[in-house]
Structure 1
Amino acid sequence: MEGKGKEGSSAAAAASCLSKYVDHGSVESHRYYLARRTAMEMLRDRGYEVSADDINISLHEFRAIYGDHPDVDRLRVSAVHRSDSSKRITVVFSGTGMVKVNAIRSIAADILSRESVTGMILILQSHITNQALKAVDLFSFKVELFQITDLLVNVTGHVLKPNHRVLTDKEKEALLKRFCIDEKQLPRISKKDAIVRYYGLEKGQVVKVTYSGELAQSHVTYRCVW
Structure 2
Amino acid sequence: MDLSGMEMDLERIPAMEMCLSKVVDDGSVESQRYYLARRTALEMLKDRGYAVADSEITLSIKEFREIYGQSPETDRLKISTSLKSDPSKTVLVLFLGTGAVKVSSIRSIGNQIMDKDNLSLLILIVQSQVTNQAQKAVELFPFNAEIFKIADLLVNVTKHALKPKHEVLTDDEKLELMKKYSLEEKQLPRMLLKDAIARYYGLKKGQVVRISYNSNIMGSFITYRCIW
Which protein is bigger by CA-based radius of gyration?
Answer: 1
Query: Partner of 2:219: helix, strand, or coil?
Result: coil
- Unaligned runs of at least 5 residues, structure 2: 1-22
Scaled by the length of structure 2, the TM-score of the pair is: 0.88
RMSD of aligned residue pairs (Cα, Å): 1.2
How far apart, in 2, do the equivalents of 1:126 and 1:182 lie?
Answer: 41
Partner of 1:15: none
AA partner of residue 205 (structure 2): K
Partner of 2:114: 112
Query: Partner of 1:143: helix, strand, or coil?
Result: strand
- Unaligned runs of at least 5 residues, structure 1: 1-20
Aligned-pair CA distance for 1:114: 5.4
More helix by share: 1
How far apart, in 1, do the equivalents of 2:167 and 2:116 lie?
Answer: 34
Aligned-pair CA distance for 1:116: 3.1
Aligned-pair CA distance for 1:115: 6.2
Q: 1:134 aligns with which of 133, 136, 143?
A: 136
Q: Provide the aligned length of Structure 1 versus Structure 2.
A: 206
Partner of 2:213: 211
How far apart, in 1, do the equivalents of 2:88 and 2:186 lie?
Answer: 31
Aligned-pair CA distance for 1:124: 0.6
Residue 29 of structure 2 is aligned to residue 27 of structure 1: yes
How far apart, in 2, do the equivalents of 1:179 and 1:217 lie?
Answer: 22
Partner of 1:103: 105
AA partner of residue 176 (structure 2): A
Deviations 1:159-209 (A, max 9, x none): 101111000011001001101111111001110110000000000000001
How far apart, in 2, do the equivalents of 1:113 and 1:124 lie?
Answer: 23
AA partner of residue 40 (structure 1): L
Aligned-pair CA distance for 1:65: 0.4
Scaled by the length of structure 1, the TM-score of the pair is: 0.89
**CA shift in 2, pair 1:114/1:171, >3 Å:** closer
Q: 1:222 aligns with which of 217, 221, 224?
A: 224
Partner of 1:72: 74
Partner of 1:10: none
Partner of 1:9: none
Larger mean CA deviation between 112-121 and 212-221 belongs to 112-121
AA partner of residue 39 (structure 2): R
Matches within 5 A, 1:56-95: 56-95=58-97
